[in-house]
Amino acid sequence: MSNIEQNNPMSAEEVLKLKTIKAKSAEKSVNEKLLKQEPEMITIDGRTFPKGMKSVGIALGEKSSKDELTETDHFYPTHSDFEYQPKLEPKKDRKPKFIERESFLTAEGARTIFGSDQRKIYNSTAYPWRCVGRVESPLGVASGVMIGPRHLLTCAHIIDWRPNNQTGWLKFTPMYYNGSAPYGSSWGVQTYYKHKVAGPTIDGTEVQFDYVVVVLDRPMGNSTGWLGSKSYSDSWDGQASFAHAGYPADLTGTQRPTYQTGIALDGDFWSPDDNQSISHKADIWPGQSGGPFWAYWDGNPYAVATQSAHNPSINFASGGSDLVGLVMRARNEYP
């Protein structure tokens, strides 16, 4: 048995016993110029748009690194508190659901909430919650997480794929909350991918590769910190150790983030460990795609998958060692 199979994540009960780590230094205010920094623009047919990105594809049979990677490091900035349970939004800020699912859903097979809804809306600038943010592209809104100094992990199907290794623009705002951007926003300059996944439907192959690593135009991770990444092991199937966060359209109109803990994942046995389709019954709605699933090892957070898709009876995430390799390659080529 490999080391990764022996190294189980902490249980939800163990995580609940962990105490908040208080910041060791004052957090410096984000430079106002950085907060307001605009993307490079391009003019097409007399109209001006944010400039798109370049993309780098790694062939499905090609490894992202010479070595078999199992994880990349995390970074906790000591100017931030470290909270294992985020602060919920204050009662005074709570609003009605943006979409009432029961009346909105009429099509058979649209169900993505199983049982009572366990998602909670939070507003926390503590680590690791500050690493999760709102992703925008020409295709709409998704979620993502800092996975390196200037590196974003999100879903592939939010990328506006275009010819000649080009894509449309992408904007990331960590800990976006009702229009606030405590760390500013950044724009993608390069996308690393395994498969050009495009919606609205996602097939059995695409769900194994529905993740990208986007290189951002500034090192936001030095302020927010970032999660580590870890290759998913089928030995963790059924362990309710995982958390998820993202920006759902139903509860908050993608304007405020939600989280859920105690999630069990189930890696499929027919796909290889390097590209896993991972099923789960976490509470999901469009907008949460690209949001990370993570657990804690020795009290430190590592992302293992991104939210991808659903069918009438189950939800799906994408992970595996290829995800880790993609993170490593992007970080090596764009430190």
Domain count, the chain: 1
Q: Does 3 reside within a domain?
A: no
How far is 170 from 189, CA to CA, in rounded Å? 8
pLDDT tens sequence across 243-279: 999 999 989 999 999 999 999 999 987 767 788 899 9
Taking residues 165-184, report their average pLDDT. 95
Reply yes or no on whether the pLDDT at 238 is more than 80. yes
Predicted pLDDT at 94: 74
Is the backbone peptide bond immediately before 312 cis, with ω within 30 degrees of 0? no
| DSSP H helices in the chain | 3-6, 12-16, 32-35, 101-104, 221-224, 249-252, 321-333
Which of 237, 305, 239 is closest to 12 using CA atoms? 239
Q: Does 50 reside within a domain?
A: yes
How far is 158 from 138, CA to CA, in rounded Å? 8
Q: Does 61 reside within a domain?
A: yes
Judged by DSSP in three states, 197 sits in: coil
Q: How confident is the model at residue 5 (pLDDT cuts 50, 70, 90)?
A: very low
What percentage of the chain carries pLDDT values higher than 70?
Answer: 86
* Residue tagged 């199937």 (tokens): 237
Q: Does 1 reside within a domain?
A: no
Q: Does 4 reside within a domain?
A: no
User: Cα angle at 210 between 138 and 315, to 5 degrees?
Assistant: 105
Q: Does 7 reside within a domain?
A: no
Q: Which domain holds residue 276?
A: 12-333
How far is 209 from 57, CA to CA, in rounded Å? 12
Rounded to two decimals, the pTM is: 0.91
How far is 305 from 292, CA to CA, in rounded Å? 6
* Residue tagged 């909430």 (tokens): 113
